[in-house]
Amino acid sequence: MTPDTAISPMSARAHLRALLVLGLPLIGSHLAEIAITVTDTLMVGWYSATALAGLTLAGVLYFSIFVLGSGFARAVMPIVASAAGTDDDRQVRRVTRMGAWLSILFGALAMPLLIWSEGWLLAIGQAPEVVAEAALYLKIRAWGLIPALIIVVLISYLSSLERTRVILIVTLVTTAINILLNYMLIFGNFGAPELGIAGAAVASVTMQVVGLLALGAYAAIVTPEYALFQNPWRPDWDAFGRVLRLGWPIGLTGLAEVGLFSAASVMVGWIGARELAAHGIALQIASVTFMLHVGLSQAVTVRVGRAFGQRDGPHLRMGALVAMALSFAIAGATIVLFLTVPEPLIGLFLSPDDPARAVIIPVAVTLLAMAALFQFVDAAQVMTLGMLRGMQDTQAPMVIAAVSYWLIGAPASYALAFWAGLGAPGVWLGLVVGLACAGILLSWRFLRLSAALNAS
């Protein structure tokens, strides 16, 4: 087991070094992971604008379900980090196993919703030609849901033990596999059948199965002291309950945010297919930069989790402040990027010969400007979520997220888009409002809880 470097008092520079050692591989793995979605969007966009609109709709809906289910897998991280800090090997194994159980159970229940999606996609008012593409994609992608959830369990387990480099390596390899299979199966290259959007789905499922096998083999070989796969069928109801209690608020918190973006996609879909394609491009670009914050957030969950287990308030607070400062620096650089070179970024996602290009690019440029508005508050909300999870505080953040995104953000998007007549930019302005509320409230909660720990 990698020794914890956070036992003795540390300077801000030492905190930054420790955070980067743990966080850079996680950031890299998340960038590689989002590269899978970006390459899907790029290649499907080159195939046809209608297929791109279908992928945008299907992608956000699949991701909403995935995020809800991954709450149990993400709950493994703070519990295992705390157990590893006290050398409780049996608890590490049992918590990870129960996280896998809950993930498999959720995946089995959710798959039918994806396989038979066409009816309910039409019921929410989407264009039939877009629904046909989306339903075809989801019918295939559903079979990768359980492997994808188990991958998150293994990532949480390995991250808690500060073994993050392998996560980056495996993600890079699977990204390369996905790109190659996309090139073959979407367009029919190298003698493969031309499957269009279905080819992107087949590539994604294949990549997820390969990633699961690779991470599982690594965990079994390199961390034998935890006997991770020993008696996988044996229940531990105490560990099951702990993961369940911590995990369902994490899943609902993630769903509240991702669901807001899914609702935004549905609303933009009501406006038009080309606007939906522009929304999908802007969302992919914003998601790439967001992954930097997600990687840092997971690293700070582990760092805060170790300090919280030791009841070391000053160490916890200093590490959190260093992480937030780094995240804000990234947000500032992102704002400059989105406002200075939007068109070259957007143009990557469209064929030069696509007649819709002249309509899609101006809309996407405006949406990227809206994305620049929420960079700081989005960084604040994801980082404080990571910190609060490290302190095993998940229920209050769930309530904050639900109120911010669904009682404030989603209504604001609808009102600005349709009542104020702003269209797709109005939908994104509503996102700014919801994310700002979440960022402010979550930051306030973390400051209050960490101050109480400092005082104790």
* Inter-residue contact 195 to 205 (CB < 8 Å): no
pLDDT at position 7, please? 44
Instruction: Report CA-CA distances (Å) from 183 to 179, 189, 195, 433, 444.
Output: 6, 6, 11, 39, 47
Residues with Cβ within 8 Å of residue 110, at least 6 apart in sequence: 65, 68, 69, 145
Position 11 in a domain: no
* Inter-residue contact 443 to 298 (CB < 8 Å): no
Position 426 in a domain: yes
Residues with Cβ within 8 Å of residue 401, at least 6 apart in sequence: 252, 253, 256, 257, 438, 442
Residue pointed to by tokens 């075809």 = 136
Instruction: Report CA-CA distances (Å) from 367 to 50, 321, 349, 373.
Output: 20, 30, 15, 10
pLDDT at position 85, please? 66
- Cα separation, 276 vs 200, in Å, equals 19
* Structural domain of 299: 23-455
pLDDT at position 72, please? 94
Position 13 in a domain: no
**For each successive 10 residues of the chain (456 residues), what is the average pLDDT?**
48 85 83 75 80 82 87 89 74 91 96 89 81 90 93 90 86 89 91 88 92 94 87 89 92 87 87 87 88 91 80 82 94 96 89 81 93 92 93 93 95 96 94 94 93 74
Tell me which residue of 121, 123, 141, 140 sits closest to 132, measured CA to CA. Answer: 121
pLDDT at position 280, please? 85
Position 12 in a domain: no
Whole-prediction pTM: 0.78
Position 268 in a domain: yes
**What is the count of structural domains for the chain?**
1
Position 270 in a domain: yes
Q: Within 10 Å of residue 168's Cβ, how many Cβ atoms?
A: 19
- Cα separation, 253 vs 401, in Å, equals 6
How many CA atoms lie within 13 Å of 205's alpha carbon, on the beta-carbon side?
Answer: 18
pLDDT at position 181, please? 94
- Cα separation, 170 vs 114, in Å, equals 27
Q: Which two tokens stand for residue 75?
A: 């709950």
User: 116: which DSSP letter?
Assistant: T
Position 229 in a domain: yes
pLDDT at position 86, please? 67
Position 18 in a domain: no
**Could you tell me where the DSSP H helices lie in 124-164?**
128-141, 145-160
Side chain identity at residue 106, one-letter code? F
User: 405: which DSSP letter?
Assistant: I
**Could you tell me where the DSSP H helices lie in 224-272?**
237-271
DSSP one-letter string for 415-448: IIIIIS---HHHHHHHHHHHHHHHHHHHHHHHHH
Tell me which residue of 1, 24, 15 sits closest to 303, measured CA to CA. Answer: 15
Backbone phi, then psi, for 374, in 5-degree steps? -100, 10
* Inter-residue contact 194 to 129 (CB < 8 Å): no
**Could you tell me where the DSSP H helices lie in 310-374?**
313-340, 342-347, 357-373
